[in-house]
Amino acid sequence: MLKKITGALLAFGFVGLSWAQQIDLNKATEVELDALKGVGPVLTKAVMDERKKAPFKNWEDATSRVKGLGPQKASSLSDQGVRVQGSPYTAKSADSAKDSGKAAPKGTDAAAGKAPPAKN
Protein backbone atom coordinates (compact mmCIF):
# COMPACT_ATOMS: atom_id res chain seq x y z
CA MET A 1 0.00 0.00 0.00
CA LEU A 2 2.83 2.36 0.87
CA LYS A 3 4.47 1.67 -2.51
CA LYS A 4 1.25 2.60 -4.35
CA ILE A 5 0.91 5.87 -2.45
CA THR A 6 4.56 6.76 -3.02
CA GLY A 7 4.26 5.90 -6.70
CA ALA A 8 1.16 8.04 -7.10
CA LEU A 9 2.81 10.99 -5.37
CA LEU A 10 5.89 10.70 -7.58
CA ALA A 11 3.75 10.51 -10.71
CA PHE A 12 1.83 13.65 -9.75
CA GLY A 13 5.10 15.36 -8.87
CA PHE A 14 6.59 14.68 -12.30
CA VAL A 15 3.42 15.81 -14.06
CA GLY A 16 3.51 19.00 -12.02
CA LEU A 17 7.15 19.63 -12.89
CA SER A 18 6.63 19.19 -16.61
CA TRP A 19 3.59 21.47 -16.57
CA ALA A 20 5.33 24.11 -14.47
CA GLN A 21 8.23 24.31 -16.92
CA GLN A 22 6.14 25.90 -19.65
CA ILE A 23 6.55 29.65 -19.43
CA ASP A 24 5.46 32.38 -21.80
CA LEU A 25 8.18 34.75 -23.00
CA ASN A 26 5.74 37.64 -22.50
CA LYS A 27 5.09 36.75 -18.85
CA ALA A 28 8.34 35.20 -17.61
CA THR A 29 10.05 36.87 -14.69
CA GLU A 30 13.71 37.81 -14.70
CA VAL A 31 14.46 34.87 -12.38
CA GLU A 32 12.62 32.41 -14.66
CA LEU A 33 14.50 33.62 -17.74
CA ASP A 34 17.89 33.53 -15.97
CA ALA A 35 17.19 29.96 -14.84
CA LEU A 36 16.94 28.75 -18.44
CA LYS A 37 19.93 27.00 -19.96
CA GLY A 38 21.72 29.32 -22.40
CA VAL A 39 20.15 32.50 -21.07
CA GLY A 40 22.26 34.96 -19.14
CA PRO A 41 21.72 38.44 -17.74
CA VAL A 42 22.35 40.18 -21.09
CA LEU A 43 19.73 38.18 -23.00
CA THR A 44 17.30 38.43 -20.09
CA LYS A 45 17.64 42.22 -20.06
CA ALA A 46 17.17 42.37 -23.84
CA VAL A 47 13.98 40.29 -23.63
CA MET A 48 12.63 42.36 -20.73
CA ASP A 49 13.43 45.67 -22.49
CA GLU A 50 11.76 44.64 -25.76
CA ARG A 51 8.78 43.23 -23.93
CA LYS A 52 8.21 46.60 -22.21
CA LYS A 53 7.80 48.22 -25.65
CA ALA A 54 5.17 45.70 -26.78
CA PRO A 55 4.36 42.03 -26.13
CA PHE A 56 5.81 39.54 -28.58
CA LYS A 57 3.24 38.47 -31.18
CA ASN A 58 5.04 35.24 -32.11
CA TRP A 59 8.49 33.70 -32.26
CA GLU A 60 9.38 35.55 -35.45
CA ASP A 61 8.60 38.85 -33.73
CA ALA A 62 10.71 37.87 -30.71
CA THR A 63 13.71 36.71 -32.76
CA SER A 64 13.63 39.84 -34.92
CA ARG A 65 13.45 42.25 -31.97
CA VAL A 66 15.75 40.63 -29.41
CA LYS A 67 19.47 40.75 -30.21
CA GLY A 68 21.01 37.38 -29.41
CA LEU A 69 17.77 35.45 -29.86
CA GLY A 70 18.22 33.66 -33.15
CA PRO A 71 16.71 30.47 -34.52
CA GLN A 72 19.09 28.19 -32.65
CA LYS A 73 18.51 29.88 -29.28
CA ALA A 74 14.74 30.04 -29.89
CA SER A 75 14.70 26.31 -30.65
CA SER A 76 16.66 25.58 -27.47
CA LEU A 77 14.33 27.72 -25.36
CA SER A 78 11.27 26.11 -26.92
CA ASP A 79 12.69 22.67 -26.07
CA GLN A 80 12.90 23.88 -22.46
CA GLY A 81 9.21 24.80 -22.46
CA VAL A 82 9.31 28.48 -23.42
CA ARG A 83 6.33 29.61 -25.49
CA VAL A 84 5.26 32.82 -27.21
CA GLN A 85 1.51 33.34 -27.12
CA GLY A 86 1.22 29.64 -26.22
CA SER A 87 3.12 28.42 -29.30
CA PRO A 88 6.43 26.55 -29.40
CA TYR A 89 9.15 27.68 -31.78
CA THR A 90 9.11 25.98 -35.16
CA ALA A 91 11.97 26.72 -37.55
CA LYS A 92 9.78 25.87 -40.53
CA SER A 93 7.24 28.61 -39.85
CA ALA A 94 9.93 31.19 -39.08
CA ASP A 95 11.85 30.36 -42.27
CA SER A 96 8.76 30.49 -44.46
CA ALA A 97 7.74 33.83 -42.96
CA LYS A 98 11.21 35.22 -43.70
CA ASP A 99 11.25 33.84 -47.23
CA SER A 100 7.78 35.07 -48.12
CA GLY A 101 8.80 38.69 -47.69
CA LYS A 102 12.16 38.45 -49.43
CA ALA A 103 11.67 37.24 -52.96
CA ALA A 104 14.68 37.56 -55.25
CA PRO A 105 14.37 40.29 -57.88
CA LYS A 106 13.38 39.08 -61.33
CA GLY A 107 16.34 38.12 -63.50
CA THR A 108 18.73 37.42 -60.62
CA ASP A 109 20.27 34.23 -59.37
CA ALA A 110 18.64 33.94 -55.94
CA ALA A 111 21.33 31.64 -54.56
CA ALA A 112 24.25 33.92 -55.43
CA GLY A 113 22.42 37.24 -55.52
CA LYS A 114 23.84 37.95 -59.01
CA ALA A 115 22.35 38.46 -62.43
CA PRO A 116 22.50 35.34 -64.66
CA PRO A 117 25.21 35.25 -67.34
CA ALA A 118 24.31 36.80 -70.69
CA LYS A 119 23.23 34.37 -73.39
CA ASN A 120 24.94 34.67 -76.78
Give per-residue pLDDT as tens, 69-105: 999 999 999 999 999 999 999 986 555 555 555 544 5
Q: Is the dihedral of CA 41, 13, 74, 47 positive or negative?
A: negative
Quote the mean pLDDT of the chain: 78
Distance CA 11, CA 46 (A): 37
Residue 57 has pLDDT above 80, yes or no: yes
Domain-by-domain residue ranges, the chain?
21-87
pLDDT value of position 91 = 81
End-to-end CA distance of the chain: 88
**Rg of the chain's alpha carbons, rounded to an integer?**
21
Mean pLDDT along residues 36-62: 96
pLDDT value of position 21 = 76
pLDDT value of position 107 = 52
Lowest mean pLDDT among 59-68, 91-100, 103-112: 103-112
Distance CA 86, CA 24 (A): 7
* DSSP alpha helix (H) spans, the chain: 2-20, 30-34, 41-53, 59-65, 71-79, 91-100
Q: Which CATH architecture describes the domain 21-87?
A: Orthogonal Bundle (1.10)
